[in-house]
Structure 1
Amino acid sequence: MIPDSAPIWLVIIVLGVGTFLIRFSFLGLVGDRQLPEWLLRHLRYTSVAVLPGLVAPLVIWPQATGGQIDPARMAAAAVTLVVGYLTKNVLAAIVAGGVTLYAMLFLIG
């Protein structure tokens, strides 16, 4: 059964316009002005706040294991945290975590 495509296109257009307006509010209206220091200070922590929220479900409840805790992913997350904390280097942490994940998956099976 193929649904009528009109409501789908209406949703796509409305979401596209909404996304444009959200981005335009920052880039078009505020883009040429200096932002206040307190706002810049808070914006620095946006990625630090968002990234764990994106990664934690993938580590704790991975779909690859049917939602079961996986030692390989937990070890990779731990190595990534330790390397990131010690080196303060994002790329080194990502590479160390990736190498650990693939090594553990190879060893465990």
Structure 2
Amino acid sequence: MIEASTSQIWTVIIATGIGTFLIRFSFLGLIGNRQLPAWALRMLRYTPVAVLPAVIAPLLFGNGPNAMDPIRLAAAFATLAVGVSTRNVLYAIIAGLSVFIGLTALGG
């Protein structure tokens, strides 16, 4: 295991904080009040569609103790079905969460 001194840890924390701030500021602070080009707006529409599977997939197919859990798979299927049928990310999230909470309360 690698040993790190307190000053090294704080240096990494501060550098990461500055880097994160600069990345966010470059998008929000510098171009926040300008109109984005049409191609950028078109790409930003796909952000929720890309983020939702990226967050959920490790929970479903990972190596942890809850991988391939029937309750999680049912919630994922409900999320997918509602998302495809309504084309609304919020409705899909609510449906998946409702199925997960409901099935967990029944017997999980």
**Cα offset, 1:95, TM superposition:** 2.9
- Note the residue ranges of structure 1 that are not aligned, 5 or more in a row: none
Q: Secondary structure at 1:28's aligned position in 2?
A: helix
Q: TM-score, length-normalised on structure 2?
A: 0.78
Question: 2:104 is matched with which residue?
Answer: 105
CA RMSD of aligned residues (A): 2.4
Aligned partners of 2:60 and 2:67 also within 8 Å = no
Amino acid at match of 1:57: P
User: Aligned pair in 2 of structure 1 residues 89, 45: CA closer, same or farther (>3 Å)?
Assistant: closer
Q: How many residues align?
A: 106
What CA distance in whole angstroms lies between the structure 2 residues aligned with 1:40 and 1:56? 26
Are the structure 2 counterparts of residues 88 and 62 from structure 1 closer, same or farther at C-alpha, using a change threshold of 3 Å?
farther
Amino acid across the alignment from 1:28: G
**Offset at residue 61 of structure 1 (A):** 2.5
Structure 1 match to 2:17: 16
The sequence identity of aligned pairs, in percent, is: 55
Write the distance in 1 (CA, Å) between the matches of 2:94 and 2:44. 26
Aligned to 2:91: 92
The TM-score normalised by the length of structure 1 is: 0.77
